[in-house]
């Protein structure tokens, strides 16, 4: 007589009893992780599948907004060595983006955790200030666009990480596509809330980046950026990075930057991920 199969719920309980609970949980988690990776690694992407629009890891932003109606999240890790303020700094930057249409959207960003050590050896940890951004895009042609970002960096960090004042920034963007290469040029002016006697309240910042696709999924980027302010030394850095599109909704990145002036950071290393999460409603 053939033995009948156990009902699925009973079989699952028997399998769970055969392992310690912690081991069984790891098996189930590994199974879910493998299924997720398999689905992301699948080369078959629907043509109508929305696509992530990474702004990281470059300092500059493109004029393009993320997919309208979808939340998009950027998370990263960075290690900065040297500079005018800190001997070393480690941070976890995060940015949440939402576009109402193809031409207007908002962003909220912060550093979820800072761990920084000054030249005097004083160490401070905690979350950073919070940025609120309103963004507008104007298409000039099929390959060029202009953008404007109006932002406020509001104090949410404890002393030693933030300066306790609000900074306001207007950032202009020019984006173009030349032979498949994405070029973004940003020029921004920030009104600083906290200044010392004799210092200028206004800080200029500029960035110029080029992103070159190597394959359908791999890309590399090169960027020069810097800042200028009256009564202060200018900063300039060079950044190189690579990106890999795991899925249309998921992009990984990593890279390094190197300071080029005395007031700039010595070097930094970073890695991160951009995920198009899903529709707002």
Distance between CA 63 and CA 66 in Å, rounded?
10
Q: Just give the CATH number of 70-279.
A: 2.40.160.40
Specify the pLDDT at position 47: 62
- pLDDT score of 27: 44
Distance, CA of 70 to CA of 68 (rounded, Å):
6
Q: What is the pLDDT along the chain (281 residues), one digit of tens a residue?
A: 334 444 434 344 444 444 444 444 544 455 554 454 444 444 455 667 899 999 999 999 999 999 999 999 999 999 999 876 777 899 999 999 999 999 999 999 999 999 998 888 889 999 999 999 999 999 999 999 999 999 999 999 988 888 899 999 999 999 999 999 999 999 999 999 988 888 899 999 999 999 999 999 999 999 999 999 998 889 999 999 999 999 999 999 999 999 999 888 999 999 999 999 988 87
pTM of the model: 0.81
Enumerate the domain spans of the chain: 8-41, 70-279
Sign of CA dihedral 271, 229, 157, 280: negative
């Amino acid at each position: 007589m053939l033995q009948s199969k156990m009902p699925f719920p009973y079989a699952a309980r028997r399998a769970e009893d055969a392992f310690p609970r912690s081991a069984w949980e790891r098996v189930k988690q590994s199974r879910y992780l493998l299924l997720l990776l398999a689905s992301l690694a699948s080369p078959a992407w629907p043509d109508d599948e929305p696509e992530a629009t990474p702004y990281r890891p470059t300092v500059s932003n493109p004029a393009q907004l993320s997919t309208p109606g979808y939340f998009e999240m950027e998370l990263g890790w960075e290690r900065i060595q040297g500079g005018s303020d800190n001997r070393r700094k480690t941070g976890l930057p995060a940015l949440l983006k939402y576009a109402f249409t193809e031409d207007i959207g908002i962003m909220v960003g912060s550093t979820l955790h800072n761990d920084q050590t000054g030249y005097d050896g004083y160490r401070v940890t905690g979350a950073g200030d919070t940025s609120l951004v309103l963004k507008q895009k104007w298409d000039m042609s099929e390959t060029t666009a202009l953008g404007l970002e109006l932002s406020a960096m509001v104090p949410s960090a404890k002393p030693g990480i933030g300066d306790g004042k609000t900074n306001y920034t207007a950032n202009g963007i020019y984006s173009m596509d030349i032979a498949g290469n994405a070029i973004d040029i940003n020029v921004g002016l920030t009104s600083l809330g906290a200044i010392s006697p004799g210092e200028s309240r206004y800080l200029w910042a500029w960035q110029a980046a080029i992103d070159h696709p190597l394959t359908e999924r791999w890309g590399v980027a090169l960027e020069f950026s810097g800042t200028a302010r009256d009564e202060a030394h200018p900063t300039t850095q060079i950044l190189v990075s690579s990106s890999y599109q795991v899925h249309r909704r998921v992009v990984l990145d990593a890279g390094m930057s190197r300071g080029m002036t005395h007031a700039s950071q010595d070097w930094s290393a970073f890695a991160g991920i951009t995920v198009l999460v899903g529709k707002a409603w």
